[in-house]
Chain A
C-alpha cells in the first residue's frame, strides 16, 4: 500500500530541496525569453541596416541656432505703413500696442494658445532698436503705430513707455529725418518703390515688404538706386529663414532627388479674408485718410474706403496672385535651387468666384520654363478651395514634399535607388526621410507608426509645435547686416528681389496680354 506522503515533491518539500522536476517546471518558460531576445536582436539589426542604407553617405546640414546679435548703439527705425502687416512687423521687432498686451493677458487667463502666444512674445529677444518715426495715411493707424512704437518695454496700458515716435504726414518727411537710420516699408504694393527710392536717396537702410515692385520699370530703378547708395536692403520674404528650406537645399545639393524636371507650387485659400476682402474701418473717411498720398502713382479714383482697405483686389494698387502670393513660393524655390529668372512664362485664369467688383483674378495658373536647368515651375492658385497641396519638387529618383516640414519619398522607378528598392531597404511611395523644425537630425523612417504619421507631416508638430517667428529672424538678419557696416547684404538682397519681381511680372504680363512672355537676359528685357 502506498504511504500518504511518498510523492517525490512532497518529500523534497519536507526536506526543503528542489527536485529535478521542480527545476524543469520552474525554468520551463525561460527559453521563451531567449527566443524573444533573438527576435529583438533581429529587429534591431534590420532597423540599423535600413537606417544606414538610407542615410549612408548623405551629409545633411541642419541649421542650428541663431547667429548672435551684433553689438552697437540702438538702431533708429522708421515705419512707413502701419496696417496689419506693418503692425505684424512691429510685433516681430518687439513692439505690441499696450492695449493689445492687456487684451492678450485677458485671453491668456482662459486660453492656452494665448498664454503661449504672449509668452513667446515676451521672451522674444530684444533687437536693440528704437522706433523714431511713423508714417501712415490713415490717422487711426498712424496713432496706433505711434503708441505701439513707444512700447519698448512691452507693457500694458499703465506700464512704462519709451519716447513716442514722431508721426510724419508724408513718407518723404520721415525719410528726410536725421533720427531715422533705417526704414520698414509696409505700404500697399503700388507704393513700395516710391518709398524705397526715396529711402535710398537719403541713405536709409531698407526692409521692403514683398513683392518688390508694382511695375517693371521701377524694378530697374530700385536695383540701381540700392546698389549706388550702398544701403542694406532686405526684401521681406521671411521664408528665407525657414529651416526646412535650408535642409531641402542641402539634400538637393547631394543629389538625393536625382535630376529635377518639374516643381509644383500652389496657393489654396477659401475664405473672404484670404481673398483680401478685409474689414472696412468705420472711422475711415476723406478727413481721416490722406487719399491723394495713398493714390500716389496709381490711376486717379475718387475716395473709396473699399479700395483703401481692400487694395489687393485691384490692379490699381496690388499685384494680384502673381505678385501677392506666387512670389512667396518663387522665392522659396529660388532660395533652394538658385533658379534665377525663367526663360518664359505663361499664365491663365480669371475672376471665377469672387465676383465682387475686383479686377485681379481669384484663380491663376502659371508655367515658368527654365531650359538651362531642364525644368518647369508650375504655379496653381485658387482663392476658393483650401486643399493644401504644398510644394513638390519632382526628381527622377525621389520627390520632396515641402512646407514647414519636409518629406523625401523614393520614386519606384528610381535609378539611384533601384538596388535598394529591389532589396526592400527602400519602400517606394513611402517617405524615406523626414525633417520637422526643431529636430536634431534627419530621421530615416523605419517603424510603421512613424511612416504613418510622417506621411501626414505629423511626426512631431501634431498640434503645431513652437515655430520660431521667421519674420523676427528675417528682420534680425537685416539688422545684423546694418550693424556690421561692412557692406554685407542679407539673404533676400536686391538681386534676389530683382529676380522675384521680374519673374512675377512676366507671369502678370502673360495673364494680361494672353500670351507667353520671354526674358532676354543679355539686354534685361521682358518681351
Chain B
C-alpha cells in the first residue's frame, strides 16, 4: 500500500503505541511469578460472568488463562512494535481485547469492584483499542517500517551498501 509520509507516520505510531501497551502489560505479568488474573476474572460482569468465574475457580483453566494472557500480551506487543507477524498479532489482539470486553462489559447497571477511570456507555477504551487493531490489519505498515521489510522478498543474500 502507498501512504503519504503523514499517514504512514500516524499508522506506525498507532501500531507502536498499541504494541508498547500490550508489551509492557505482558512483560510485567510474565516477570511476576505471583501474578494471576484470578481477581480480575472474579470481578467479571455481564452475561458471561459465570464462565469467567468458573475459569477463575478451576485451577487448570486458570493456569492456562494466566499463561496465555501474559505471554499473549507479550508476544503480540513484540510483534506490533518490531513489525513482524503483525497481522497475526493484531488478530490475536482482537481476540484478547474481545475477551477482556466480554469479561468487563461497559453497560449501565453493571458495577465492578475496581474503579473505572472515566464514564463509559458501551464503548470503552478496550473497544477503541480493538478498533485500532482492525486499522492495523487494514493498513499494514510493517513492510515499510518494521522487520517485515527485511523479509519482504526471498532470503537475504547480502546487505547492500
Q: Could you list which residues of chain A lie within 8 angstroms of chain B, going by C-beta atoms?
A: 12-13, 15-20, 22-23, 25-30, 32-33, 36-37, 39-40, 43-44, 443, 449, 452-453, 456, 458-460, 462-463
Closest CB in chain B relative to A427 CB, distance in Å:
17
Contact of B158 with A40 in the complex, beta carbons under 8 Å: no
Contact of B53 with A463 in the complex, beta carbons under 8 Å: yes
Contact of A29 with B12 in the complex, beta carbons under 8 Å: yes
Contact of A19 with B113 in the complex, beta carbons under 8 Å: no
Does B92 count as interface, using CB distance less than 8 angstroms? no
Give the residue name and chain of the B residue nearest to A14 (CB).
B153
Which listed residue, B24, B31, B149, touches A26 by the CB 8 Å rule? B149
Contact of B156 with A449 in the complex, beta carbons under 8 Å: no
From B60-68, B102-110, B120-128, B140-148, the one touching the partner chain is: B140-148
Q: How far is the CA of A452 from the CA of B115 in the complex (A)?
A: 9
- Looking at chain A's contact residues, is the secondary structure mostly helix, strand, loop, or mixed? helix
Contact of B16 with A32 in the complex, beta carbons under 8 Å: yes
Known: A17-B160, A29-B82, A33-B82. A453 touches B24 (CB 8 A): no
Q: List residues of B (81-110) whose CB comes within 8 Å of A's CBs.
A: 81-83
Contact of B145 with A16 in the complex, beta carbons under 8 Å: no
Q: How far is the CA of A23 from the CA of B158 in the complex (A)?
A: 11
Q: How far is the CA of A449 from the CA of B161 in the complex (A)?
A: 52
Q: Could you list which residues of chain B lie within 8 angstroms of chain A, going by C-beta atoms?
A: 12, 16, 19-20, 23-24, 27-28, 31, 34, 38-40, 42-43, 53, 57, 77-78, 81-83, 113-115, 144-150, 152-161
Q: Which residues of A contact B148 (CB under 8 A)?
A: 26
Contact of A36 with B150 in the complex, beta carbons under 8 Å: no
Closest CB in chain A relative to B104 CB, distance in Å:
13
Q: Which residues of B contact A449 (CB under 8 A)?
A: 39-40, 114
Q: Which residues of A contact B160 (CB under 8 A)?
A: 12, 15, 17-20, 22
Contact of A27 with B24 in the complex, beta carbons under 8 Å: no
Q: Which residues of B contact A460 (CB under 8 A)?
A: 38-39
Closest CB in chain A relative to B84 CB, distance in Å:
9
Contact of B156 with A18 in the complex, beta carbons under 8 Å: yes
Q: How far is the CA of A12 from the CA of B158 in the complex (A)?
A: 10
Contact of A36 with B157 in the complex, beta carbons under 8 Å: no
Contact of B147 with A26 in the complex, beta carbons under 8 Å: yes
Known: A16-B155, A18-B160, A25-B149. A40 touches B81 (CB 8 A): no
Q: Which residues of B contact A19 (CB under 8 A)?
A: 160-161
Closest CB in chain B relative to A333 CB, distance in Å:
30
Q: How far is the CA of A303 from the CA of B135 in the complex (A)?
A: 82
Q: How far is the CA of A486 from the CA of B115 in the complex (A)?
A: 57
Contact of A453 with B147 in the complex, beta carbons under 8 Å: no
Q: How far is the CA of A329 from the CA of B42 in the complex (A)?
A: 31
Give the residue name and chain of the B residue nearest to A448 (CB).
B114
